[in-house]
Amino acid sequence: MLNWRSGALISALLIGCGVPDGPAESHQAVAEGFFRGIYGCEPALIDTFGAENVVVSYPIFEALYQTPAIRGLEATRDLSSNFCRRWGDPEITFDQVIEQDFRVVLIWSFSAVDNAASPPSDGAPRPRESWGGISAFRIDDQGKVVEEVGEESSPGPAARLRNGQ
């Protein structure tokens, strides 16, 4: 039987766990889904979780695209398509997640096979390459990603901590 104390406890737990108001999807699920859509080569997730006016920015975009940010859902789908042609068999791990209100920070690790690399001369499969990063997402009140801003490195943040670097 619930009494005022158990009701207060349940309310405190829900508030403390950061259960979002509004959309059925948690903001963490939205950010993770959008990230997997782009870099995990699951394009349907880009449309599911991305706002039409989404902006995605990483330092490497300047070298690859001569712009610091990709703007719009169509450009984001193109980014993913290019990325997925280059990197096969992607594996994404979310090492840490911080969620507050309409913002989510993911600390992630990534590995994939470089499809552009020449196969080893001994006939072995191409090796996996790994890196990681930190990405901050802003979610709108419709439960869509409107901004992803990140930094990537090799090794990534989680790998540096595991390796004592």
CA separation, residue 159 to residues 74, 91, 162 (Å) = 33, 14, 5
- Domain limits for position 85: 24-115+126-162
Q: Output the pLDDT for position 124.
A: 81
Q: Output the pLDDT for position 116.
A: 87
Structure token pair of residue 139:
């979610």
Q: Output the pLDDT for position 98.
A: 97
**Inside any domain, residue 43:** yes
Q: Does residue 18 or residue 86 have the better pLDDT? A: 86
CATH of the domain at 51: 3.10.450.50
For the segment 31-58, the average pLDDT, to the nearest whole number, is 97
Q: Output the pLDDT for position 21.
A: 47
The model's pTM: 0.81
Categorize the per-residue pLDDT at 121 as very low, low, confident or very high, splitting at 50, 70 and 90.
confident
Categorize the per-residue pLDDT at 161 as very low, low, confident or very high, splitting at 50, 70 and 90.
confident
Q: How much is the mean pLDDT over the chain? A: 86
**Inside any domain, residue 33:** yes
Q: Does residue 13 or residue 48 have the better pLDDT? A: 48
How many distinct structural domains can be found in the chain?
1
Query: With the CA atoms of 35, 36, 37 and 41 taken in that order, what torsion angle do they form, in degrees rounded to the nearest 10?
Result: 130
Residues in Cβ contact with 113 at an 8 Å cutoff, skipping those fewer than 6 apart:
87, 88, 89, 125, 126, 127, 128, 129
**Inside any domain, residue 6:** no
**Inside any domain, residue 98:** yes
**Inside any domain, residue 42:** yes
**Inside any domain, residue 16:** no
Q: Does residue 9 carry a pLDDT above 80?
A: no
For the segment 85-89, the average pLDDT, to the nearest whole number, is 96
Categorize the per-residue pLDDT at 164 as very low, low, confident or very high, splitting at 50, 70 and 90.
low
**Inside any domain, residue 156:** yes
Q: Does residue 164 or residue 119 have the better pLDDT? A: 119
**Inside any domain, residue 13:** no
Q: Does residue 23 carry a pLDDT above 90?
A: no
| For the chain, percent of residues with pLDDT exceeding 90 | 70
